[in-house]
Structure 1
Amino acid sequence: MTKRLILIRHAKSSWDAPFDDHSRTLNNRGRTSATALGSYLKMRSDCPDAIYCSDAARTIETTECIVAAMGTTPTIHHLNKMYNASPAALWNVLRKAEGDVVALVAHNPGIAFFAEDVVDKAPDHPRFIDYPTCATLVCDFPTNDWAKAVSHSGQVVDFVVPKDL
């Protein structure tokens, strides 16, 4: 059996309001992108069983838009330790994850470095390295236990950015 991982960088956030970084919400473009991504995942039948999400406002709102567009009810975990998390911290979250299809919604640069670390071969996409807002990697791991997932073993299934949708 395999496990499927979906890595999502939060959608485009607003800089208009005088909030601290943790409190920034999405702008209209970000909401549109996150909704389009949710529709895309639904069309591909890549709806996660569980979503592990940073507790920052922009990641929570990204997750809400995606879930609304998918029309599903995954288990959602808001975790402070995913706010500006390192790849090592994201590995810790993934290795304790539950579900066959799991999504992590987090921030750059950690999510970009984590994406590079999980795949055996980078996708042939010019935006993979910089992992722009709402960039999404879908990859499969040859394991039936997230605790046994290891670096560079994820097989790329898809990689998209909002402009691809």
Structure 2
Amino acid sequence: MNKKLLVLRHAKAEVGLGLADHERPLAERGLRDSAAMGAHLKREGLLPDLVLCSTALRTRQTLDGLALDAPVEFTRGIYTGDGYDLLTLVQITPEEVGTLLIVGHNPAVHELAVITGNAPVAEFPTCALAVVELESWESHGGTLLAHRTPKTLR
């Protein structure tokens, strides 16, 4: 049975608040975009069996905005890692998981979308989503099924 990997960049965050990067909250636009992306995921039947989310505030708030009902594991390595670090997380996903959502940061999520999707993805703005089909979690590459941004959802 094929697997679906959902790669999501956090929604638009506030800048210039004097906070540590890890503690930056979502901007109003980010709150709207994450809710719209959650509605899109539900409409398309892209409901994760497991979510791996960065520990940063903006990724946690993005996940809250999606309003999905799925088990969540918060992983600091998603905040600090690159695309290949994220690929390792994908490859150790339990076999019983059919759809995995990773909520993280650029450039790592963009790199993961390109690595796993075997297709160029020109840009990966805030709240961008890549949907990749893999033969198994151990696969080194699959097929990019969709690439969505908040603009393409309007």
Do 1:87 and 1:113's aligned partners in 2 also have CA atoms closer than 8 Å? yes
Note if 1:135 corresponds to 2:131.
no
TM-score calculated relative to the size of structure 2: 0.93
The equivalent position to 2:85 in structure 1, one of 81, 85, 89, is 89
Structure 1 segments of 4+ aligned residues over 4 angstroms from their partners: none
Given residue 93 of structure 2, which amino acid in structure 1 is its aligned partner? A
Give CA deviations for 1:10-42 in whole Å, capped at 9, x if unaligned. 000011522100000101100100100000000
Note if 1:45 corresponds to 2:45.
yes
The equivalent position to 1:108 in structure 2, one of 86, 106, 109, is 106
Do 2:41 and 2:47's aligned partners in 1 also have CA atoms closer than 8 Å? yes
Alignment-derived partner of residue 154 in structure 1: 142
TM-score calculated relative to the size of structure 1: 0.87
Do 2:113 and 2:132's aligned partners in 1 also have CA atoms closer than 8 Å? no
Do 2:8 and 2:127's aligned partners in 1 also have CA atoms closer than 8 Å? yes
Give the stretch that moved more between structures: 28-37 or 80-89.
Answer: 80-89
Identity of aligned residues (%): 28
RMSD of Structure 2 on Structure 1 (CA): 1.2
Note if 1:55 corresponds to 2:59.
no
Q: Which runs of 5+ in 1 are unaligned?
A: 123-127
Per-residue deviation at 1:155? Answer: 1.1
Give CA deviations for 1:84-107 in whole Å, capped at 9, x if unaligned. 321121011111223110001110
Do 1:25 and 1:61's aligned partners in 2 also have CA atoms closer than 8 Å? yes
Note if 1:30 corresponds to 2:20.
no
Do 1:85 and 1:106's aligned partners in 2 also have CA atoms closer than 8 Å? no
Give the stretch that moved more between structures: 23-32 or 109-118.
Answer: 109-118
Secondary structure of the residue that 2:127 maps to in structure 1?
Answer: coil
Cα distance in 2 for partners of 1:27, 1:121 equals 31
Given residue 17 of structure 2, which amino acid in structure 1 is its aligned partner? A
